[in-house]
Amino acid sequence: MRFVLPADVGDPAGPSGGNVYDLRVGAGMDHLLVAGTWPRPADTGPLEQTLAGIPDGEVVLVDGLVACGVPEVVVPHARRLRLVVLVHLPLADETGLDPATARFLDGCEREVLRAASAVVATSPAAARDIRIRHGLAAVHVVVPGTDPAPLATGTDGVHHLLCVASVTPRKGHDVLISALRKVEADWRLTCVGPHGPFLRELPRDERVSFTGPLTGEALTSAYDRADLFVLASRAETYGMVVTEALARGLPVIASAVPDALGDGGLLVRSGDVSAWEGALTCWFNDQRFRDELRARARSRRRSLSTWDVSTEDLRRVLATLPP
C-alpha cells in the first residue's frame, strides 16, 4: 500500500496533528514523500513523477494537503488509480486567506475529491462538512487514536494552563491571551508549538511562555505539569491535542473541537473573547466547576479510542474499494 505524503511529515521542528496522524495510521505502508510548498507548489514535478510511477489500478492514499490544491496533476491519475484522499482540513478553511484565494482552493479541492475513488476525513463533523460542501455521495470517517497515558500530576490544581498548538491565527492564541488578561487570577500559560510571524501580533504578557515545539519526554512533562488544557482554535477538523490531554485526565476548555472533546470538557464559542473570559473566570473562581471538568475528563478518558483501532478502520476503508 502506497501513501503519498508531504516531504516534511516527519520534521520534528514542525510537528502537527496531521503529521502525527499520517505517520501513525500509515505505519507499514510504503511512504512516498513529495517536496513542495503545499497546497500550491511552484513545482509540481515531484508529485507528477511520483504518481506516474505507480502502476494502473493500484490503491494509493494521498494526504489532502498534497492532493487537493493541484487537480491538474491529480485528476488525470485518479482516472487510472484507485485514489483515496485523506482530508485533514479543507484548504479554504485555513485562517487568513483572502476570499478569492479561498474560493480558488475550494474549487481545486472539489475537483480532486469528486475524481477520487474515496475520501476520508478525521471526524464526523468534518466528514459532513466535506460531503455537503463538495456534493459528494459519501465521506468515510477514521477518527484519530490516542496512546494510553498516566494521569497528569499538575501543579496546584488551578493556575498552570497549557496550550499545545502551532502559533498561527487559526489556533486562536490571540483570543486565549486576550481573555486571560481580563481575568483576575494568578495564572500562568505555557504555549507549546512552532511559531512564526503571528507571534509578534499577540498581546505581550510575562505570564505567557512560548517553548517552541516539544516532543517525547519534554512534551510529556509539559502535559504532566498542567492543571488545565486550553485550545481556542477558530477551526479544527478534530483536535488531537485535546484527546491527548484527556488521555491524561486533564480538564479541558476548548473551541471548535466537538468530536474530540465529546462530553469531556467545556466547548466555548470560537473567536469569542468574552465567552472565553467567562469560562476561565469560572475555572479560577469555582471549585465545583473545576471538579466537574475533572470528572468529565476522566470519564471521557475511559472511552478514548486507540491508534490500533484507527489503523484498522483505515485499512477497512481501503479494502472496500472496487477493483
The total number of structural domains in the chain stands at 2
pLDDT of 14 strictly over 90: no
Q: Indicate the pTM of the whole model.
A: 0.88
153 inside domain: no
Distance between CA atoms of 102 and 94, rounded to whole angstroms?
8
Question: Among 208, 245, 228, which Cα is nearest to 286's?
Answer: 228
Distance between CA atoms of 102 and 300, rounded to whole angstroms?
36
Q: Which three cell numbers stand for residue 167?
A: 502559533
- Cα angle vertex 126, ends 314, 119, to 5°? 45
What per-residue confidence (pLDDT) applies to 115? Answer: 98
pLDDT of 310 strictly over 80: yes
What per-residue confidence (pLDDT) applies to 12? Answer: 74
Confidence band for 35, pLDDT divided at 50, 70 and 90: very high
Per the listing, cell 515545539 goes with 213
150 inside domain: no
Could you tell me if 9 and 138 lie in one domain?
Answer: yes
Across 245-258, average pLDDT? 97
Contact between residue 25 and residue 310 where contact means Cβ atoms under 8 Å apart:
yes
Could you tell me if 108 and 164 lie in one domain?
Answer: no
pLDDT of 135 strictly over 90: yes
pLDDT one-digit tens code per residue, 295-307? 999 999 999 999 9
155 inside domain: no
195 inside domain: yes
- Which of 210 and 18 is assigned the larger pLDDT? 210
What per-residue confidence (pLDDT) applies to 10? Answer: 84
pLDDT one-digit tens code per residue, 36-94? 999 999 999 999 999 999 999 999 999 999 999 999 999 999 999 999 999 999 999 98
Which structural domain, as residue segments, surrounds residue 139? 2-145+306-319
Confidence band for 231, pLDDT divided at 50, 70 and 90: very high
Q: What CATH number has the domain bearing residue 48? A: 3.40.50.2000
108 inside domain: yes
Could you tell me if 295 and 173 lie in one domain?
Answer: yes
What per-residue confidence (pLDDT) applies to 170? Answer: 93
- Which H or E element spans position 238? none
What per-residue confidence (pLDDT) applies to 218? Answer: 96
DSSP letters spanning 38-100: TTS-S--HHHHHHHHTSPTT-EEEEEHHHHTT-HHHHHHHHTTSEEEEEESS-GGGSTT--HH
Average pLDDT, the chain: 95
pLDDT one-digit tens code per residue, 270-292? 999 999 999 999 999 999 999 99
154 inside domain: no
21 inside domain: yes
Across 182-207, average pLDDT? 94
pLDDT of 225 strictly over 80: yes
pLDDT one-digit tens code per residue, 81-128? 999 999 999 999 988 899 999 999 999 999 999 999 999 999 999 999
Could you tell me if 192 and 295 lie in one domain?
Answer: yes
Could you tell me if 193 and 266 lie in one domain?
Answer: yes
Contact between residue 231 and residue 31 where contact means Cβ atoms under 8 Å apart:
no
Contact between residue 270 and residue 172 where contact means Cβ atoms under 8 Å apart:
yes
pLDDT of 167 strictly over 90: yes
What per-residue confidence (pLDDT) applies to 166? Answer: 93
Q: Which three cell numbers stand for residue 316?
A: 477497512
Could you tell me if 20 and 140 lie in one domain?
Answer: yes
Q: Where are the alpha helices (DSSP H) in 98-180?
A: 99-115, 124-134, 173-180
Contact between residue 25 and residue 3 where contact means Cβ atoms under 8 Å apart:
no
Confidence band for 17, pLDDT divided at 50, 70 and 90: confident
pLDDT of 246 strictly over 90: yes
Distance between CA atoms of 83 and 132, rounded to whole angstroms?
20
Q: Which three cell numbers stand for residue 180?
A: 486571560
CB atoms under 10 Å from CB of 30, counted, come to 11
pLDDT of 319 strictly over 90: yes
Could you tell me if 224 and 110 lie in one domain?
Answer: no
CB atoms under 10 Å from CB of 12, counted, come to 11
291 inside domain: yes
Distance between CA atoms of 1 and 84, rounded to whole angstroms?
11
What per-residue confidence (pLDDT) applies to 95? Answer: 81
Find residue 163's DSSP bridge partners: 191
